[in-house]
Amino acid sequence: MNTSTTVLGYPRIGPRRELKHAVEKYWAGKIGADELETVARQLRADTWSDLADRGLDTVPANTFAYYDQMLDHIQLVGAVPARYRELGLSALDTAFAMARGRDEIGALELTKWFDTNYHYLVPELDETTSFALDASKPLGDLAEAKALGVRARPVFIGPLTFLLLSKPSAGAGADFEPIALADRLVEAYAELLGQLVEAGAEWVQLDEPAYVQDRTADELALLESTYRRLAALPNRPKLVVTTYFGDPGDALPLLAATDVEGIGVDLVSAPALVDRIAGLPAFQRKTLYAGLIDGRNVWRGDLGGALSRATVLLGAVGELVISTSSSLLHVPYDVEVETALDPRVRERLAFARQKVDEVVLLGRALRTDDGVLADVARRPADGVVGPAGFGVDPAVRARVEGLQAADRTRAPYGERSLAQETLGLPPLATTTIGSFPQTGDVRKARAELRTGAITVAEYDERMRGEIQRVIALQEEIGLDVLVHGEPERNDMVQYFAEQLDGYAATELGWVQSYGSRCVRPPILYGDVSRPRPMTTEWAAYAQSLTERPVKGMLTGPVTMLAWSFVRDDQPLGVTADQVALALRDEIADLVAAGIRIVQVDEPALRELLPLREADRKAYLEWSVGSFRLATGGAPSAVQIHTHLCYSEFGAVIAGIDGLDADVTTIEAARSRMEVLADLADIGFHRGVGPGVYDIHSPRVPDRAETQSLLDAALNSIPAARLWVNPDCGLKTRTYTEVDPALRTLVAAAQAARQRL
Ligand code: GLN
Ligand code: ZN
């Protein structure tokens, strides 16, 4: 038999978020390490048994993590920074200290895992880092799996991806790069592979997704030499090196030239790889882990298409393993439990369990079980558009098709800023990003509405009370441009998704975002439209309470896509334009209701940036275009703001300019205004509000600190265009922090105005 089935990885939070609950109880001191370990062991066992019962030939191991797989890997190779080691804690508590910080010691940096919504902890390395293997966790996993009678394949981050995702520690030399440690690290892997083969591992999976990004010639050469070295080890398991989320490009033939037995590729994001692989003779001696089922989106697979690709591959490779394009970590567990979902949406969905079934079915079809083959062939190619045109809205499609360049163009900025003088704003105008702290009362009201304990009218009344309080507070503090505080929003994407046609919500569709934080992304399944105004009532109410301008607050089209599961049957740009048109209508309604400033948040503009440089221009075209479509109908006198966060703006700086917003508020406090130099480089000439208050920390900045950030900003932006605001929304903070911090911010702005 030269075909088999597996998946690259599986969710670990538990079908009912059991891990999240257990970990948080442990943090709160309500359960001990033993009890936490018991929950974890049960989850692993349940997962393996389920995967094996469903018919997978082999299952992944070492994909479980209490918090993050990168974090576990830091401990595996003994690269725990000294400041955490010196705490003298147990391995578990050391891991949590790195993840969450402890006393005076901050946490490791958290950043996005490629272009997904998963976040990993960034290893810190320097010249003095010496690796020391501790393989107790993967060895324990192997033993557990063996006891259950399943064939498990331990999964690890590959040495080069580990280094390429690391950063130099604070004490590293100026030109130290983590990749310089490759030699040393590979020794630790050699030892690891030796221990694993002793423990009975047949295959080991090493993930090298960093090679779907642009890599230098040196980095490519290092890939080849590293895997030649590992493949030459006398005593080791078989190796499969996997890439995912894109096309490995030049890395593919280099890997194929080494003696690793297996190569894994993502054929969903890079279907053209099928032909390339078929053209590389080296693959005739390899086992190909063919990622034919999408590991990161929620649609049922096109099994007919996958089957024909698999058939081509079967003739071109030594052995074929049908698999997922990536770990299933990025999708929820099970669509069967979503009983409240419209069946016409549900029948098009496949979550992790259903994807396992698809992999198994493909495997059976390939083994020419005729009944299964016929069954697979009979299944419709699961486009998003369902039975009887469900999800199709001809009016929306016609509107998108009829769009003109003029729809994305406002009057020149000079003309607009003149018209906006009627707002009567001072230089160094002060504002906030939108949300105010979500108090216990606010959350209680939402919970009570959900359970039916209060009526919609009562809920609305409580929200109005909250808005009234927030407006009064902002007036008293002396802010210039006010917000209503967003108390009615559970989440900035979900809130709009719930009101737009074409979006569905799940009940238990949780996916891990980082650590114990899980999100439930809405599912954008059809043409998007806005049946009725979404925010005007709240905005108009807030504006009725004050003379000062209140900003209308919307989530931009790119962010609405980035934090949802989106349809894959049409270009993202078309979907984004549909969302943009709904927002455009909303802005018109806000303006009609007397709102003079509208903020369209795009914190995710950076996140969706393609992994390869060559794809970025096209991305920025549609993403920026959709924002401009959303805002392009606003009259000149209406001031359009946008907001971005999560730093590292370098690659999207031209895009930020392209948005053509009148005012851009942007995270900047932690990086000490780094973004301003980038903006100056491209001659950015509109309003900008670099954050002077780091809201990601509970610390309340003092006057000197705020003032110094403001002075730094004034060095590169003239006061007339400079806004004074926090880094991001205040939702996650408390009033005891926010109240003094905002007063300090206003005082700093006023003092700076005096000096103009
Ligand atoms: N307006 C949103 C808020 O203040 C923006 C949040 C964000 O940028 N992530 O909460
Ligand atoms: Zn933000």
pLDDT band at 385 (very low <50, low <70, confident <90, very high): very low
| Cα distance between residue 91 and residue 105, in whole Å | 17
Assigned domain for 546 exists: yes
Please tell me the predicted confidence (pLDDT) of residue 23: 97
Radius of gyration over alpha carbons of the chain, in Å? Answer: 27
270 near 246, Cβ under 8 Å? yes
pLDDT band at 671 (very low <50, low <70, confident <90, very high): confident
Q: Is there a binding annotation on residue 187?
A: no
Bridge-based pairing state of the strands 501-504 and 523-529: antiparallel
Tokens of 306: 């996958």
- 512 alpha-carbon distance from chain centroid: 10
Task: Please check the confidence at residue 390 and state whether its pLDDT lies above 50.
Answer: yes
Counting ligands in written order, the one closest to the CA of 696 is 2
Q: Is there a binding annotation on residue 73?
A: no
Judge if the beta carbon of residue 644 lies within 6 A of ligand 1. Answer: no
269 near 246, Cβ under 8 Å? yes
User: 664: closest CA among 640, 680, 646, 681?
Assistant: 640
Length of the chain, in residues:
756
- Sequence-distant (6+) residues with CB within 8 A of 53 are none
133 near 76, Cβ under 8 Å? yes
Mean pLDDT within 345-350: 93
More confident residue, 650 or 131: 131
What backbone torsions phi and psi does residue 77 show, to the nearest 5 degrees? -95, 5
Whether 696 sits among the annotated catalytic residues: the reply is yes
**In the chain, how many H helices and how many E strands?**
28, 22
More confident residue, 90 or 569: 90
- Model confidence pLDDT, tens digit, residues 446-496: 999 999 999 999 999 999 999 999 999 999 999 999 999 999 999 999 999
- Model confidence pLDDT, tens digit, residues 201-228: 999 999 999 999 999 999 999 999 999 9
CA-nearest residue, atom 9 of ligand 1: 603
Assigned domain for 727 exists: yes
Helical residues (DSSP H) of 348-428, grouped into ranges: 352-366, 370-378, 394-401, 413-419
User: 522: closest CA among 483, 493, 481?
Assistant: 493
The full 3-state SS of 25-77, as one line of letters, equals: HHHCCCCCHHHHHHHHHHHHHHHHHHHHHCCCCCEEECCCCCCCHHHHHHHHC
Report which ligand 1 atom has the smallest distance to the Cα of 553. 1
Cα 492 to middle of ligand 1, angstroms: 7
Judge if the beta carbon of residue 437 lies within 6 A of ligand 1. Answer: no
308-315, Cβ contacts within 8 angstroms, sequence gap of 24 or more: 309/267, 309/271, 309/274, 310/3, 310/362, 310/366, 311/366, 312/274, 312/278, 313/274, 313/277, 313/278, 313/288, 314/2, 314/3, 314/366, 315/278
Q: Is there a binding annotation on residue 486?
A: yes
CA-nearest residue, atom 3 of ligand 1: 729
User: Which of 438, 486, 519, 696 is the best mutation target for the ligand 1 pocket, counting ligand atoms within 8 Å of the beta carbon and taking the most?
Assistant: 486
Assigned domain for 674 exists: yes
Task: Please check the confidence at residue 373 and state whether its pLDDT lies above 80.
Answer: no
Assigned domain for 585 exists: yes
Task: Please check the confidence at residue 366 and state whether its pLDDT lies above 80.
Answer: yes
Please tell me the predicted confidence (pLDDT) of residue 747: 98
Cα 567 to middle of ligand 1, angstroms: 25
Cβ of 222: how many Cβ atoms within 10 Å? 21
Please tell me the predicted confidence (pLDDT) of residue 445: 97
Tokens of 150: 């399943």
Counting ligands in written order, the one closest to the CA of 432 is 1
User: 417: closest CA among 643, 639, 641, 688?
Assistant: 639
Judge if the beta carbon of residue 728 lies within 6 A of ligand 1. Answer: yes
* Domain around 605: 426-495+535-755
Cβ of 132: how many Cβ atoms within 10 Å? 11
| Cα distance between residue 209 and residue 341, in whole Å | 34
534 near 489, Cβ under 8 Å? no
Please tell me the predicted confidence (pLDDT) of residue 375: 66
| Cα distance between residue 417 and residue 411, in whole Å | 10
| Cα distance between residue 485 and residue 482, in whole Å | 9
Give Cα separations from 260 to 209, 236, 252, 623 (angstroms). 16, 11, 12, 40
- 612 alpha-carbon distance from chain centroid: 17
- Model confidence pLDDT, tens digit, residues 57-70: 999 999 999 999 99
- DSSP per-residue codes, 74-119: HHHTT---HHHHTT---HHHHHHHHHH-BTTBPPPPEEE-TTSS-E
Instruction: Work out the mean pLDDT of the chain and round it to a whole number.
Output: 95
Assigned domain for 472 exists: yes
Assigned domain for 490 exists: yes
More confident residue, 657 or 647: 657
Assigned domain for 397 exists: no
Judge if the beta carbon of residue 603 lies within 6 A of ligand 1. Answer: yes
747 near 724, Cβ under 8 Å? no
Domain tally, the chain: 1
Judge if the beta carbon of residue 435 lies within 6 A of ligand 1. Answer: yes
Tokens of 619: 């991305």
CA-nearest residue, atom 6 of ligand 1: 729
665 near 553, Cβ under 8 Å? no
> Residue 690 in 3-state DSSP?
strand
Catalytic annotation, pick one of 21, 119, 641, 696: 696
Assigned domain for 514 exists: no
Judge if the beta carbon of residue 320 lies within 6 A of ligand 1. Answer: no
| Cα distance between residue 333 and residue 19, in whole Å | 13
Share above pLDDT 70 across residues of the chain, in percent, rounded to a whole number: 97
| Cα distance between residue 333 and residue 329, in whole Å | 9
User: CATH no. for residue 587?
Assistant: 3.20.20.210
The residues pairing with 551 across neighbouring beta strands, listed in sequence order, are 597
Mean pLDDT within 575-586: 98
pTM (2 d.p.) = 0.95
Cβ of 711: how many Cβ atoms within 10 Å? 14
ipTM: 0.99
Task: Please check the confidence at residue 571 and state whether its pLDDT lies above 80.
Answer: yes
Task: Please check the confidence at residue 379 and state whether its pLDDT lies above 80.
Answer: no
- Find the angle CA(662)-CA(668)-CA(670) to the nearest 5 degrees: 170
| Cα distance between residue 33 and residue 17, in whole Å | 18
